[in-house]
Amino acid sequence: MSKIVVISGASAGVGRATAHEFARKGARIAILARDPESLAATRVELEQLGAAAVLDIPTDVADADAVEYAADRVERELGPIDIWVNVAMVTIYAPVHRISPAEFKRSTEVTYLGTVYGTMAALARMRPRNRGHIVQVGSALAYRAIPLQAAYCGAKFAIRGFTDSLRCELIHDKSRVRLTMVQLPAVNTPQFDWAMNKMPKKVEPVPPIYQPEVVARAIYYAAHHKRREIFVGWPAVKAIWANKFIPGLLDRYAAKKAWRGEETDVAAEEDRPNNLFHPVPSKARTRGRFDSEAQDFSKAIWLDLHRTQVLAGVALLTALSLTFSRQRKVDRND
């Protein structure tokens, strides 16, 4: 029987690409996001891609009751939830002193508490059945913060702490509910066109940039394997490991390079709609405006997802090399 999957933030970007990936495998999918129009468009795409069933539920994940209602509806109309993927996020591009308390609160409620509420709703149904898989979509910024995105970085750090704490509890209870966190690099999504931006220039991801489909494949893999964490792309791996050893140096590097690297040379549009408090339906799509720069493939993630086969191949080659070497010595001695 096809899996029953819930994906938050599914109307655009990584969430929409992830829904596409599950649809291609014939899953029954519930998609959550705030805007009914964008959800409806996504539902049509999923049906065309082969999803066994699609349920679109307009949901603000910052509302715990709304998330609980969505989970109840999924179980009533589709059946027991097998996989829950928390993707929904909003961010603000601005130095901390230019962010209002209300803006900071809203970003935290959507990005962090939205993940907490989604996880709690999933757990309430998975724990009694002693099965299920929850995937948290994180970021390299959950380990290595950068300027101009304090609200987002803080939320991703919090998600990592929350997830690690919960994982310990599940291990203690010998639960078969699984948790995996997928840490993202820079991704070509619409967020750079609809996120709240208080900078004088348009914003962009810090290269190298990956297409959302690269991330979607990693999330799909995470939902079907027992992996604690998956890092998507070498940039995420390098940032995370470098921060373990030279955090102070990275602070200074980010102060000089990341600040400038997040801005383009194009002036920001005045009064541009942003999605912090309300959705922007016209910009809800899978990819952003960086197609010409974004990579469709990541060697690092391919190696990570196929590491068993890679290690087996390396072991085989090593064994063959040693055998060949020993045979040559025998031949020389003869």
pLDDT of res. 295: 83
Instruction: For residue 172, report the phi and psi dihedrals to the nearest 5 degrees.
Output: -60, -40
217: which 2 tokens? 């494949």
pLDDT in the model for residue 317: 63
pTM of the model: 0.89
pLDDT at 219: 97
pLDDT for 125 equals 98
Burial of 90 (0-12, 13-18, 19+ CB in 10 A): buried
Query: Rounded CA gap, 120 and 274, in Å?
Result: 28
How high is the pLDDT of residue 134? 98
Q: What is the pLDDT of residues 164-176, one digit of tens each?
A: 999 999 999 999 9
pLDDT tens digit string along 122-132?
999 999 999 99
pLDDT the model gives residue 320: 59
What pLDDT shows up at residue 238? 78
- The reported pLDDT for the residue numbered 21 is 98
> Following DSSP, what letter does each residue of 94-108 receive, concatenated?
S-GGGS-HHHHHHHH
Give the active site residues.
152
DSSP letters, 48-114, are HHT-SEEEEEE--TT-HHHHHHHHHHHHHHT-S--EEEE-----EES-GGGS-HHHHHHHHIIIIIH
pLDDT, mean of each 10-residue run, the chain (334 residues): 94 98 98 97 97 98 98 98 98 97 98 98 98 97 94 98 98 98 95 95 92 96 95 80 87 87 89 93 89 79 62 61 66 63
- CATH code given to domain 4-297: 3.40.50.720
The pLDDT, as a whole number, for residue 303 is 65
Q: Which two tokens stand for residue 276?
A: 């912090």
Domain edges within the chain: 4-297
**What does the pLDDT read at residue 239?**
79
Both tokens of 205, joined, read 């991801």
Q: What is the pLDDT of residue 234?
A: 74
In this structure, are residues 87 and 8 in contact, taking their beta carbons and an 8 Å threshold?
yes
